[in-house]
Amino acid sequence: MKQLEFDFDVPANVNVLRTHAIREHVWNDDIEDDDDCVLNLKEDWFRTTKFGDWLLDNIPYGWRIYNKYTDFVHYTITKYQQLRYGVADSECWSLDYTFTRYMLPRLKHFKKMTRYSYPTDVTPEEWENILDEIIWAFEYMADEDAFLPMPPCDMDMEQIFDPNRPKTLEREMMWRNYFEKSNVYQHRKEQALKLFAKYYEALWD
């Protein structure tokens, strides 16, 4: 059975995003998640409080000031936790990305510096190629969009989730190429991470 491929581009005869219609549809229905828990979106939700959100909506630069304030609070908490505990909660929200940001510049520096040793089961040339692959994997994980940008997205949510809408041959090929490249890059990343695990203890001079 052929898997449906979604076309995320906006057809020429479709208007811009019908925000109000979509919002009305969502708020009039209960959405059930994968855990069989019903999320009742009819209930009011406020980022601060009802009055606080109203106030921030109506004063000049209200939300900009609020966002600057929350950024400052987050920065202060992060620095406090780093100084007191050595690590902050925010660093563990996406621990893989934290590790990637830490390892990538050090791997690049390790590759450039003068080294006098290499693993005994590879040649010096093979060792350099292995390091290149490991660095590529960390660069890919740090910014996948730089290596594989997604095709243009459809701004109409109703069109996104309609698998039966007409798709042009160009759009079909664009998404097919995207998924093919994604599989290739994913396989290359997995192989490079296996090399990283295998030669982790060889990263020394």
Inform me whether the pLDDT recorded for 114 exceeds 60. Answer: yes
Q: Is the pLDDT of residue 134 over 70?
A: yes
**What is the model's pLDDT at position 87?**
93
pLDDT category, 1, cuts 50, 70, 90?
very low
% of the chain residues with pLDDT over 90: 57
Instruction: Tell me which of 76-80, 147-151, 169-173 is least confident.
Output: 169-173
2 versus 78: which is more confidently predicted?
78
Residue 167 Cα to chain centre, angstroms: 27
- pLDDT of 161 reads 58
**Predicted model pTM:** 0.66
Cα separation, 26 vs 117, whole angstroms: 61
Q: Is the pLDDT of residue 141 over 90?
A: yes
Please name the amino acid found at residue 97.
Answer: Y
Task: Please state whether 121 falls in left (phi above 0), alpha (psi between -120 and 50) or beta.
Answer: alpha
Residue range 75-86: mean pLDDT, rounded: 95
Highest mean pLDDT among 15-24, 144-153, 159-168 belongs to 144-153
Q: What is the pLDDT of residue 9?
A: 45
> Comparing 101 with 167, which gets the higher pLDDT?
101
Among left, alpha and beta (phi > 0; psi -120 to 50; other), residue 61 is: left
Contacts of 14 (CB under 8 A, 6+ apart): 156, 159
Bigger pLDDT: 117 vs 35: 117
C-alpha torsion angle, residues 163, 164, 165, 170 (rounded to 10)? 70
Residue 164 vs residue 152, higher pLDDT: 152
